[in-house]
Amino acid sequence: MYFLGAVLSNIVIATRESRLALWQAEHVQALLQEKGHAVSLLGMTTRGDQILDKSLSKVGGKGLFVKELELALEEGRADIAVHSLKDVPMDLPEGFVLACVLEREDPRDALVSPRYASLDELPQGAVVGTSSLRRVVLLRALRPDLRIGPLRGNLDTRLRKLDEGQYDAIVLAAAGLKRLGLEERIRVAFEPDTMLPAAGQGALGIEVRADRADLIALLASLSHRGDWLATAAERAVSRSMGGSCSMPLAAHARWQADGALRIDAAWGDPEGNVPLVRVHAEAEAADFAQAGVLGEQAATLLRAAGAH
């Protein structure tokens, strides 16, 4: 890479090769090209994409989706990596940083079904597909009579399994469906008061090597500060709780009319022995330190209410 005045040329984006991941990388590519930069993509298949017969919590967590991309950054084969922020571990490996978080798409979960228009319409014992422990405990709290079936694979694979009749309905992130022009598949988008999203859901994060000050400065112009602060608070909840895909934890932050940041968090017992715990906290969050404190406060409230 070299400088052309204020312009960096030949920026290489490391990305997974699913249709959604490529859309996300191409979106960032277009934003950078609008600023005059030459940008190319390096498509990669990650371990998370390869292992489809086991839950992520049993094979290493969501970090399996980013490790190969980080290796490409470390080896200099790529300059930046574009991630769905909810897939990014709460603590990055030494030598890597999030350079920015882009403006967030719809953070909600969505019910997708060829036959049923809402969760309430699902018959008793209907099979709902998801491999997210968070979604499992939230669905059980809403409809304990449903059967929850494991569902892995990229978005297109999950939709195909639904259309083949393996499930009566599945739950997906609304953001991915909207980004791929599949909004018509959404039967209902759950409001956060009903089904709380995962930390970072709907947001894109760009990861770089910590020593790439040139890229960090360049990418700052793509960042949405309000959404970055909100997702930082959400990620602080997960970090404080030791959160990973093996923890049924939800966290979602929203700006209030008075400028305060409100964060809602929830924790559930996968075995169903403890009722769902939900808490909220609200405070000023003008910087990342304050956002982090707010997230830690929510985690403290969760633990006090019985989460572990």
Query: Per the structure block, which two tokens stand in for 139?
Result: 């669905």
Tallying the residues shown for the chain, one arrives at: 308
Helix (H, G, I), strand (E, B) or coil at 155: helix
Active site residues: 87
Number of Cβ within a 10 Å radius of residue 263:
27
Assign 280 to helix, strand or coil: strand
Between CA 25 and CA 81 the distance in angstroms is: 8
| Alpha-carbon gap, residue 240 to 281, rounded angstroms | 15
Residue 161 to residues 153, 240, 286, Cα–Cα distance (Å): 10, 36, 44
CB 93 within 8 A of CB 87: no
Ramachandran bin of 256, using left for φ above 0, alpha for ψ from -120 to 50, beta for the remaining angles: beta
The whole-angstrom separation of Cα 103 and Cα 17 is 22
Query: Residue 25: left if φ>0, alpha if ψ -120 to 50, beta else—which one?
Result: alpha
